[in-house]
Chains A and B, each alone.
Chain A
Amino acid sequence: MLKGNLSEFPLGTLVQTLAAAGRSGVLVVRPPWSEGRIALERGSLYAARMGMREGWAAVELLAGLRSAPFVFDDQLPLPQTPNLTLPLETALARLVAVADRWLRLEHLPRDWQVGVELTRKSGELKLTPAMLQVLGLIEGRSIGRILEEAEAPPLEVAEALDRMLAEGVLRLRLPQEMQAEELVALSFYGKETGVAYVDAPLFMAWQRRLPQPFLVRVRSPRGVERLFKVRPRSGIPGRVMLNDKDLRSLRAGRGVKLKVQPELTAGGSQQ
C-alpha cells in the first residue's frame, strides 16, 4: 500500500510512477469534501471517478487538486467496466498538459471547499456556456461541488470560474458564521503601511476557519474602506492596529470603531 499527499506527489508524477511499475490497483484520493478513484490495470489507466464525474473528466478534475491525501491499494477490486480507453502514453501526455493548464489558473483558490458569490460588478464580460453553468450552480455549493456537478469539462468550468474571479464578477464567499468584527483603531508609527495588526488569538481563529491566506477589509464609520494585509500581534484584544497614515486615509483616528472583515484572496496568496 502506498500512501502520501498530492502536495508532495502531484497526480501526473504519481500515475507515471505506478504505470512505469506496471501496478494494478486503485488510487484513492480523499479531499475533505469528496473522494476520487483512479483504477490501474497492469500499469494502464483503466477507470476513474470523482463525485459525478467519470472517465477522463474525473482524471482531469483530480489533476487540479493541489493537496489531498491519497492511498494506492492493490487489494481493492477494479470496477467491472472500464471508462478510460486512452493509450497510456497519450493519457500521460494529456495529464501533463492538463496539470499545466490548472497551474495557470491564478485566481482559483487552492482550497475548493470555499464557495463563491456574485458581486455587484457586472462589467463587460461575455459569458461562455461554462460560465452560465457556473452561475447556475454557485448557490450554496463549494467550488469543488461546482467542478463536480457542472456539465462542461472540469477544466473548462475551472477556467470559467478563474476568469469570473479575475474580473471581479464573482468573489470568494466566507463561511456563514464569519461576521465583520467591530474593532477599535489603534495607531502605530513607522514606514510599514497597508498592514493591519489584530490580536493574535483573533488572527488564529480566523486562520483556523479560513482555508487559505486572507486579507481584511477595513471600513470606517465614514464609509471609507480599504483592503489590508493582516498580521497577528499579541496584547491588543478588541483592537485593530493600523499605521497612522492608513488611519487618516480611512478618515478615521485612534479610538474609532472600525468594521474589520476577513476577505479571501482569489489565487490563494496575500497581495
Chain B
Amino acid sequence: MTVLDWIDQVNGWVWGFEMMLVFLAVGLYLSFRTGFIQFTRFGVVLRETLGAIRERSLGGGGEISPFQATMIALGATLGSGNIVGVTSAILIGGPGAIFWMWIAALVGMATKFAEATLAVHYRQQYADGSVSGGPMYYIARGLGLPWLGALFAVFAAVAAFGIGNVVQVSALSGALDNNLGVPPAWTGLFAALVVAFVLAGGVRRIARFAQTLVPLMVALYLLVALAALVANASNLLAAFLSIFQSAFSPQAGLGGAVGTTMMMIRAGVGRGIFSNEAGLGSAAIAHAQAQVDHPVRQGFWGIVEVFLDTIVINTFTALVVLSAGAWMTGGLPFDVLMGSFGALGPIRAVMPVVLALFVFTTLISWAFYGEESAVFLLGEGIRWPYRLAFAVLAFVGGLGSFGTLVKVSDTMNGLMAVPNLIALVLLAGVVAKLTRGFFSGEPWTPPK
C-alpha cells in the first residue's frame, strides 16, 4: 500500500458516513448539555447577534468585534459547497436530502455554539491586548493535552494550504478561464496579491475585509437566488413540499441515479455537517478573536453562523434548484446549477462573480486559520514566513489543480474533527456551566 493509498483510506474514513454519525452524536450531546439552546433560546440568540449587528465591540479581550469574527468564520464556511454542494446533494439524495440537511444543521448549531464559547473561554491573552484561540488552545488549556492541541494545529495548518488555498484559487481560475477567458496565471497573481495585502494587515485588516465582503456576497447571492425563485414562483410551493414528501418516501432520488433513503440521509446529513464546518473546529479560531464580555455571547454567533450558512443560504440554493426542475434530468452539479439559474438569462453571468467572492473570502479566512495554527506550533516568528508561503501558493494554485496536495489537505481537514470532537465532548461540562452562568447574570471569569 502506497502513502497515497493510505491517505485515500483515511480520507474515506474521516469523510465517511460513520464519521457523520459521530458528528451528529456529538451535536446531540452538546444540545442536551446546553438545554437545547439553539431552540429554547433562539429569540435571545437573534437579539444578541443580528439584533445587535450595529455594535462595534463589547470590550474585554480580543481585537475585533463579534460580528467581524463571525464574518471571518462565515467567509471560510461559505464556499462552493453552498451552491454546487447543495445541488450535488439533491442529485444524489433527491429533494428529501434537504430535510436531512436541516436536521443536521440544527444539531450542528449546538456544536458551533460550544466551539465558539470554548474558543473565547480558553483563548490566550497577550499584554498588547491581542489574543489567540481556537481548538488547539481549548484542547491544550482546557484538557491539559498540549500534544493533542498541537496535532489539531498541524492538521489545520496543512489543510489551509490545500482546501483553503489551492482548491479555491484553482476553482476560481478555472471558472474565470472558462467563462471570461482570463488566463489562470493572472488569476493566481491577483489572488496572491490580494492575499498578501490583506494578511499583511493582521487580524484587523482580515476582519475589515471579511466584514465588507461577506455580507456583500451573501446579499448578492441571495438577490440572484431570489430573482431565480421569482422567475420560478409557480413551482416554489411544490418544490418546498417535495422536500418533505421526498424525505419520508422510501425512494428518494429521482435524478441520474435512483437513490435510497440511506443515500438521501447520507447526502443531506453530509451537506448539513460539512457545509457549516460545525465540528471541524476551524471557525473557533476566528470566534476566539472577538471582543466580548462573556464567551457565551460569542457562542450565540456560532449558532447564527450555522443558521445563515445552512438554513438560509443552502435552502435558497435548494429551492432554486428544485423549483427550476433541471435536477430531474441529472448531470454534473455545476451544469445543473447553471441550468437552474437559466430563467434569469444573462443575469446568471453574475454567478462566476459570486463564486469569485466566495473563493476570496474562504482564501483569506483559511489563511488566518493556518497562520494561527502555525503560530501555536512554532511561535510568533512563523507569521510572516507563513503569510509569504500562503501568498506564493495562491499564485501557484491558479496554475493547476495539484491533486495530491488537495487530497492530503482534504484529509487533514477531515482529521481536524478528531481532536476537536474529543475536546467538545470532554469540555461539554464547561460549556454547560458557562451557559448556566450567563443566564444567571454571572460575570465570566477566564481560566488562570
Residues of A participating in the B interface, judged by any CB pair closer than 8 Å: 184, 186-192, 199, 233-239, 241, 243-244, 253-255
Identify A189's interface contact among B44, B55, B293, CB under 8 A.
B44
| Contacting residues, chain A, for B103 (C-beta < 8 A) | none
Known: A254-B47, A255-B54. 10 other contacts (CB 8 A): A188-B438, A189-B439, A189-B440, A190-B441, A235-B60, A239-B58, A239-B59, A253-B52, A254-B52, A255-B55
A254 touches B51 (CB 8 A): yes
Residue of chain B at shortest CB distance from A188: B441
B373 to chain A, nearest CB (A): 27
Q: Which residues of B contact A254 (CB under 8 A)?
A: 47-48, 51-52, 55
**CA gap between A239 and B443 in the complex, in Å:** 14
Return chain A residues, CB-CB under 8 Å to B444: 235
- Interface residues of chain B, those whose CB is within 8 Å of chain A, are 44, 47-48, 51-52, 54-55, 58-61, 293, 438-444
Are the CB atoms of B58 and A255 closer together than 8 Å? no
When distances are taken between beta carbons in the complex, the residues of chain B under 8 Å from A235 are 59-61, 293, 444
Contacts of B61 in A (CB 8 A): 235
Interface SS of B by simple majority = loop
Given known A254-B47, A254-B48, A255-B52, contact A191–B441 (CB-CB < 8 A) = yes
Q: How far is the CA of A188 from the CA of B444 in the complex (A)?
A: 12
Q: How far is the CA of A255 from the CA of B443 in the complex (A)?
A: 19
* 11 residue pairs bridging A and B, Cβ less than 8 Å apart: A184-B55, A186-B58, A187-B48, A189-B439, A190-B440, A190-B442, A235-B293, A236-B58, A241-B293, A254-B48, A254-B55
Are the CB atoms of A189 and B51 closer together than 8 Å? no
A236 touches B51 (CB 8 A): no
Given A189-B44, A255-B55, are A236 and B293 also a contact pair (CB < 8 Å)? yes
Which listed residue, A184, A189, A234, touches B438 by the CB 8 Å rule?
A189
A237 to B62: give the CA distance in the assembly, Å. 13
Which residues in B have their C-beta under 8 angstroms from that of A188? Answer: 438, 441
**In angstroms, how far is the closest chain B Cβ from the Cβ of A198?**
11
Shortest Cβ distance from B279 into chain A, in angstroms? 27
Whole-angstrom distance between the alpha carbons of A190 and B61 in the complex? Answer: 24
In the assembled complex, the Cα of A192 lies from the Cα of B443 at a distance in Å of: 13
Q: Once bound together, how far apart are the Cα atoms of A197 and B54, in whole Å?
A: 21
Residue of A nearest to B442 (CB): A190
A residues less than 8 Å from B438 (CB atoms): 188-189
Nearest A-chain residue to B292, judged by Cβ: A235
In the bound complex, do residue B443 and residue A233 qualify as a contact, i.e. CB atoms below 8 Å apart?
A: yes
> Whole-angstrom distance between the alpha carbons of A255 and B67 in the complex?
13
B59:A238 contact, CB within 8 angstroms? yes
B297: nearest residue on chain A (CB-CB)? A186
User: Which residues of B are found within 8 Å of A253, using beta-carbon distances?
Assistant: 47, 51-52
* Residues of chain A within 8 A of B441, CB atoms compared: 188-192, 243
Cα–Cα, bound, A137→B64 (Å): 53
Instruction: List chain B residues, Cβ under 8 A from A243.
Output: 441
A190 to B48, CA, bound (A): 15
Query: How far apart are the CA atoms of A180 and B54 in the complex, in Å?
Result: 22
Chain B residue at minimal CB-CB distance from A234: B443
